[in-house]
Amino acid sequence: MPFGVEKERLVVNLADASKYRMLLIAKRAEFADTAPQRENLWIVQSNEQIETVQLAGQREFAARTLEREAKSLMQIGAALKRIQDGEFGICLDCEEPISPKRLAAVPWAGYCLHCQEMRDAEDASDAFQRKAAA
């Protein structure tokens, strides 16, 4: 356990931490194996307007999927670091324990359900304001 981390901060026991670590490593490998490749983002020209629109839609979908997968991989990496540091299972905002049900559903979760909902609401509000300003 790292210097300065108190025993009571360790919410997840070592056996569970090991289980979550293995889950996270497997999920990271799964993302790496199934992630869309950057080749899907190549711009291909077509003489047919409908095909050009279809290809643009496919590129947009591939770009969003690639972005989402990259974000998930960063969250998984951060969760593995929290396991290593003995801070896994503790909300990054309120520092309260993350429920075992939430960790079972989303092992890379860094926030308790309440704090995650607050962050999602803020993100949605920010996105709305950006669209309104455009």
pLDDT of residue 42: 61
**In the predicted structure, residue 24 carries a pLDDT above the cut 90:** yes
For the domain bounded by 7-133, which CATH number is listed? 1.20.120.910
- Sequence-separated (6 or more) residues with CB below 8 Å from residue 90: 9, 11, 82, 96, 97, 98
Q: How far apart are CA 109 and CA 25, in angstroms?
A: 14
CB atoms within 10 A of CB 78: 14
Q: pLDDT tens across 80-115, in order?
A: 999 999 999 999 999 999 999 999 999 999 999 999
Q: How far apart are CA 1 and CA 64, in angstroms?
A: 38
pLDDT of residue 66: 83
Q: pLDDT tens across 63-73, in order?
A: 888 888 889 99
pLDDT of residue 32: 75
pTM exceeding the 0.85 threshold for the entire prediction: no
- Calculate ∠ Cα 74-78-84, nearest 5°: 145
Query: Where exactly are the structural domains of the chain?
Result: 7-133
